[in-house]
Amino acid sequence: MIKIYHNPRCRKSREGLQILEESGQSFEIIKYLENVPREEELKQVLQYLNMAPIDLVRKSESVWKENYKGKTMTDEEIIKAMTTHPKLIERPIVVKNSKAVLGRPPENIKSLL
């Protein structure tokens, strides 16, 4: 099953969703701002992405700049920050089986299909 961690207000996320819709494959939409991933789920997604937690953070968000920028943080603390403030999670993320891609640019999603 394919999953997309989606923010409907984000243009890149909407473009990623459109790619999935056009693929004809079935998928699940996870609106991660409403349905915040648990820390364990986010760790699993990071493993599938083969990314460090800091690389999945939207560093331009004001909540990052005001609360975390310039601080030395462990991976665990960064993951906790993302689950506490899901706006910090870069989007969209598409997961298929044990692989995942960050849909920036949205065309990255095609590599999973």
10 has catalytic annotation: yes
Looking at the structure of the chain, the number of domains it has is 1
Q: What is the reported pTM?
A: 0.95
Edge-to-edge order in the sheet of strand 93-96: 27-31, 2-6, 93-96, 99-102
What values do phi and psi take at 32, rounded to 5?
-70, -15
CA pair distance 70, 8, nearest whole angstrom: 30
What is the reported pLDDT for 80?
Answer: 98
What is the reported pLDDT for 34?
Answer: 97
The whole-number average pLDDT for the span 97-108 is 96
* Catalytic pick among 4, 5, 8, 10: 10
28: nearest Cα among 47, 53, 3: 3
Report which residue type is found at 17: L
What is the reported pLDDT for 55?
Answer: 98
- Domain harbouring 60, CATH code: 3.40.30.10
The whole-number average pLDDT for the span 87-102 is 97
83: nearest Cα among 25, 46, 37: 37
Q: Residue 27 — very low, low, confident or very high, per pLDDT cuts 50/70/90? A: very high
Q: What is the pLDDT of residues 28-60, one digit of tens each?
A: 999 999 999 999 999 999 999 999 999 999 999
Residue 75 is part of which domain span? Answer: 2-111
What is the reported pLDDT for 7?
Answer: 97
